[in-house]
Chains A and B, each alone.
Chain A
Amino acid sequence: MKHITRKATRHISQNEGLIFEKSSPGKAAWKLPPLDVPDVDTRQLLGASERKDLGNVPEVSEIEIIRHFTRLSTWNYAIDLGMYPLGSCTMKYNPRVNEVVSRFEGLANGHPYQPERISQGALRILKTLSECLIEITGMDAITLQPAAGAQGELTGLLMVRAHHQSKGHPRKRILIPDSAHGTNPATAATVGYAVENLKSNSAGMVDVAALAVQMNEEVAALMLTNPNTLGVFEQEIHKIADIMHAKGGLLYMDGANMNALVGKVRPGDFGVDLMHLNLHKTFSTPHGGGGPGSGPVAVKKFLEPFLPKPVVITKPDGSLGFEYDRPQSVGRVRAFYGNFGMFVRALAYIFANGPDGLRQTTEDAVLNANYIRKGLEGSYDLPYPTPSMHEVVFSDKLQAKNGVRTMDIAKRLIDYGFHPYTTAFPLIVPGALMIEPTESEPKEEMDLFIEAMRSIAEEVEEDPQLVLTAPHNTRVSRLDEVMAARKPILRWKPQ
């Protein structure tokens, strides 16, 4: 308890019910302008299709809505409040200029089907961002269409399948390391591939000898996260790529951890055939409580014909346009062109950084992770001593002796004013504490974090019950998730 007040102090927070509980007939937060056309008889126009009742949609005033959501907002932790060290999530600062420029009238109100003549601004944004991301990844072509990382994976595997199909046989399996994100196997299944697990070696990296044995002509691709989810760079990446390519397989890179590489090394230069990026991780677009994301997929030249359609092209007169005539395309993965608003933000981030800023960003991200690692070594078990890049994974082995697990430590961290790290992932580390500080943390914030984590380690020795019952300083204590799943209450109903 001795350090607990350094970062955070308790303060009053407002209670607030559900909006439905404030509703009463006659209250309103809206006003429409008078109609400038004749009013209509809805019954005559709609007949039996006319709706009679909107049920329990609330009726409240504007000030109540402002207070309602403002109060709710104060119950959230956020990057704007402090370090958010979720491993693999890259919770970095979300620059505010990105929010301003994405709301400019022509961009926010641009319609996806407006004529190309008056869409040159949006098309220029698509093209410029594409060029930047191609250069950053060292690839040759890109699609911005996928709505999130998982959809990027799906798009990538569709292209893998189309590539093999064009050679006569789509193949049957995708190799996935046991340290991979859950989306990887789920995606492979969606595209009709069987999943084959690849074991990690004692350094937490792909076991290259095992890969050579498992690789054959039925394997379509290896989905590899690099640096992997332990924050470890796959040093034998060139051998991995060679093994895949020798038997006609492709190397897919999950770009979730690209924040460790930008400006320092390019996947296209180390043998990757295709990869997705997460604009909401590496390129600073806000997570917004769980989305929207954006998952562009960058590919080598030979995969370009399979990109989703449409693609942006430069026309003979120099103007930009969409090309739909792509006979080998895998098709469409979502309506329109992707999460355009996120493209604007990501490009604004790239502009704000430039080549020097992006490189410094990567260096600082790696520097921070290693500082945290150094600070917590000794207090927590480090299962893989392999050098860390942008994140570090500890285990709860030392604390488990006192019955305290990673989730308990995470909950106690909340009392110290921090958001927890990622718990229990990757699966190859029992009781994992996965910590990614990102470049956005000043040294002072990291010092407070290290102090908090060490203090918790001491508490585990002196008073484990204190940690097991945490958090103690939040609005609600630990919630009954078992009951929530057993008897789901998924909506409000009037009493």
Chain B
Amino acid sequence: MRYLPKSPADREAILKAIGARSIDDLFAPIPAEYRLNRDLNIPRQMSESEIVDWFRDRSRENGDSYTSFLGAGAYLHYRPVIIDSLISRGEFLTAYTPYQAEVSQGTLQSIFEFQTMICELTGMEVANASMYDGSTATTEAVMMAVRLTGRHSALIAGSVHPEYREVLSTYARHQGIALTEVGFLETGRIDLRKLEQSVAPETACVLLQSPNFFGTIEDVEAVADIAHKNGAMLVISIAEAVSLGIVEPPRQADIVAMEGQSFGVPPSFGGPYCGVIATREQYVRQMPGRLVGQTTDRNGKRGFVLTLATREQHIRREKATSNICTNQALIALMVNIFMTVYGKVGLRELAKQNLAKTAYAVRQFSKHAEVLFSGAPRFNEFVVQTSEDPYAINSRILGHKIVGGLPLKKFYPELGNAALWCCTEMTRRSAIDTAVGLVAESQRAVKSASEADVEEVAR
């Protein structure tokens, strides 16, 4: 086996040194009746070239070379090549959690920079070293608000990513946290009147996503006012990090839970991604996840360490703020490099291109179909309502090697034939025009079919 660095003679020498007759001696503690006396029934050992071939075939079966209009929590942005050059360095790739600070300063300093940049971008004062993903970060943020306020219910905007809400309800169920949903208006924004009616003395927090699942930018200030007036916290979830380049960050929030995938992390069929929680300094001791802090060594030299570990499971066990152990260090490094590459000016220009592509697409789609939620600003996603089932339209679009918008029926049956479309800086005008053309064709076909029906009835 090519990963194993021992010759048969080495194995013999080691057995002899430890005084064992055979390798079986070492497995003697396992009762004989449980020992496996056959080969595992898994594929035989493969050569490297066979492995490469097998996965290349799977890659080809997986939408290789398709253009996509899918967003909804996983975004295709350009990834500068230096991200992979740098994260492929073995010193980053094959290191463990930086508990031994003296030999982990590389990872620690880069996380410290990550925490700083997340603060700058979200308008918060402290950020952690990352969480699993946006859905679990959002869930942990709500649980954090419950701990901070001592209250036990939360109001959740219906326009928060449906799968984030599912994860939250899985966690909340066994912690006695009652969740109530607050709907959205025709603008796509949360129903403020409903929110005002629903907020109660038991409300720990209001959870809002902005830009929300439909791409609509929420009126964070108005929601913050309602929450704070009632002693509740405002938790803001951000699924599309690129929006922060041009959309005012939720400075009025108490906790921000973010998905960093947009910043240089491949969609990778749903993971691994990079969640992160940012908050105000005064709440840091209730924050879950790892934190890196600056300190000095014995000679007064600047250095970095994992800190405030007394919140964590390996110290506090069942009294910890969360059971989380790992973070997403390597993915956070991708995010960190991405933010560094684009920087202060590039992040804005990048976001602006997303905005421009989306504005163009909205204008084109509007000529043929209804674009919902147009009463409020949006970032790079929008909802198109068609007469025909969007699954049927998408299957024709797929013939052009284009993946159409996400049909929303699964999550929002009340929205009928609506689909969620996304444009990024990667979306070409020609792809938009092709997709719009096919949607227009569908609309015309339905219209003439219904006219034919009317004629039939008239006859």
- The reply to whether A118 and B63 form a contact with Cβ atoms under 8 Å apart is yes
Contacts of B340 in A (CB 8 A): 19, 29, 58, 60, 65, 68
Cβ-based interface call for A360 (8 A): yes
- The reply to whether B23 and A367 form a contact with Cβ atoms under 8 Å apart is yes
> In the complex, A150 Cα to B56 Cα: how many Å?
32
CB distance from B107 to the nearest CB of A (A): 4
Cβ-based interface call for B367 (8 A): no
With contact pairs A20-B116, A233-B29 given, residues A101 and B42 touching in the complex (Cβ less than 8 Å): no
Cβ-based interface call for B284 (8 A): yes
Most buried by A among B42, B121, B245: B42
**Residues of A225-270 contacting chain B, CB below 8 A:** 232-233, 235, 237-238, 263-266, 269-270
Cβ-based interface call for B97 (8 A): yes
Cβ-based interface call for B195 (8 A): no
Stretch at the interface among B226-234, B341-349, B444-452: B341-349
Complex partner residue of A485 from B65, B307, B359, CB under 8 angstroms: B307
With contact pairs A150-B326, A154-B323, A491-B126 given, residues A42 and B355 touching in the complex (Cβ less than 8 Å): yes
A selection of 27 A-B contacts at a CB cut-off of 8 Å is A37-B356, A49-B247, A51-B248, A59-B343, A66-B82, A78-B91, A108-B268, A111-B403, A118-B398, A119-B63, A121-B62, A122-B58, A151-B324, A186-B322, A189-B318, A292-B132, A331-B173, A335-B163, A340-B272, A341-B266, A359-B39, A367-B23, A367-B26, A442-B5, A484-B294, A488-B284, A490-B307
Contacts of A140 in B (CB 8 A): none
Interface Cβ pair total, 8 Å cutoff: 684
- The reply to whether B61 and A150 form a contact with Cβ atoms under 8 Å apart is no
- The reply to whether B42 and A355 form a contact with Cβ atoms under 8 Å apart is yes
- The reply to whether A42 and B246 form a contact with Cβ atoms under 8 Å apart is yes
Contacts of B36 in A (CB 8 A): 263-266, 269
Cβ-based interface call for A286 (8 A): yes
Stretch at the interface among A190-198, A394-402, A452-460: A190-198
- The reply to whether A74 and B91 form a contact with Cβ atoms under 8 Å apart is yes
CB distance from B222 to the nearest CB of A (A): 11
Cβ-based interface call for A222 (8 A): no
Cβ-based interface call for A56 (8 A): yes
With contact pairs A76-B107, A147-B271, A357-B1 given, residues A479 and B303 touching in the complex (Cβ less than 8 Å): yes
What 0/1 pattern do residues 69 to 91 of A give for CB contact below 8 A with B? 11011111111110010100101
CB distance from A354 to the nearest CB of B (A): 3
Given A414-B100, A488-B293, 14 further pairs, Cβ under 8 A = A28-B343, A29-B346, A38-B360, A109-B76, A114-B70, A190-B175, A286-B330, A289-B97, A332-B135, A332-B163, A332-B167, A336-B269, A474-B102, A475-B105
Cβ-based interface call for A317 (8 A): no
> In the complex, A132 Cα to B42 Cα: how many Å?
6
Beta-carbon nearest neighbor of A27 in chain B: B343
- The reply to whether A370 and B18 form a contact with Cβ atoms under 8 Å apart is yes
What 0/1 pattern do residues 365 to 388 of B give for CB contact below 8 A with A? 000000000000100000000000
Cβ-based interface call for B197 (8 A): no
Contacts of B284 in A (CB 8 A): 488, 490
Cβ-based interface call for B185 (8 A): no
Contacts of B97 in A (CB 8 A): 287, 289-291
Cβ-based interface call for A224 (8 A): no
- The reply to whether B93 and A484 form a contact with Cβ atoms under 8 Å apart is no
CB distance from A60 to the nearest CB of B (A): 7
**Residues of A456-486 contacting chain B, CB below 8 A:** 469, 471, 474-481, 483-485
- The reply to whether B346 and A30 form a contact with Cβ atoms under 8 Å apart is yes
- The reply to whether B1 and A332 form a contact with Cβ atoms under 8 Å apart is no
> In the complex, A99 Cα to B196 Cα: how many Å?
50
With contact pairs A120-B62, A419-B103 given, residues A148 and B42 touching in the complex (Cβ less than 8 Å): no
Stretch at the interface among B145-153, B201-209, B309-317, B435-443: B309-317
Contacts of B307 in A (CB 8 A): 481, 484-485, 488, 490
CB distance from B2 to the nearest CB of A (A): 7
With contact pairs A50-B246, A106-B63, A119-B62 given, residues A337 and B269 touching in the complex (Cβ less than 8 Å): yes
Most buried by A among B115, B132, B173, B330: B132
CB distance from A379 to the nearest CB of B (A): 15
Complex partner residue of A51 from B312, B343, B348, B429, CB under 8 angstroms: B348
Contact residues on A (Cβ < 8 Å of other chain), bracket: 35 or more
With contact pairs A351-B54, A488-B293 given, residues A105 and B59 touching in the complex (Cβ less than 8 Å): yes
Cβ-based interface call for A179 (8 A): no
- The reply to whether A109 and B267 form a contact with Cβ atoms under 8 Å apart is yes
- The reply to whether A288 and B93 form a contact with Cβ atoms under 8 Å apart is yes
Can you list the 5 inter-chain pairs with the closest CB atoms, starting with the nearest? Answer: A288-B330, A336-B270, A354-B45, A80-B90, A121-B62
> In the complex, A189 Cα to B303 Cα: how many Å?
35
CB distance from A78 to the nearest CB of B (A): 4
Beta-carbon nearest neighbor of B302 in chain A: A476
**Residues of B284-331 contacting chain A, CB below 8 A:** 284, 290-299, 301, 303-305, 307-310, 312-320, 322-331
- The reply to whether B94 and A20 form a contact with Cβ atoms under 8 Å apart is no
Contacts of B60 in A (CB 8 A): 106, 121
What 0/1 pattern do residues 3 to 44 of B give for CB contact below 8 A with A? 111100011011101111001001111110011100111111
- The reply to whether B45 and A356 form a contact with Cβ atoms under 8 Å apart is yes
With contact pairs A39-B356, A270-B34 given, residues A340 and B271 touching in the complex (Cβ less than 8 Å): yes
Cβ-based interface call for B191 (8 A): no
Cβ-based interface call for A333 (8 A): yes
With contact pairs A370-B26, A481-B307 given, residues A114 and B323 touching in the complex (Cβ less than 8 Å): no
Cβ-based interface call for A334 (8 A): yes
- The reply to whether B119 and A491 form a contact with Cβ atoms under 8 Å apart is yes
> In the complex, A16 Cα to B105 Cα: how many Å?
11
- The reply to whether A358 and B40 form a contact with Cβ atoms under 8 Å apart is yes
Beta-carbon nearest neighbor of B47 in chain A: A352
Contacts of B326 in A (CB 8 A): 148-150, 280, 290-293
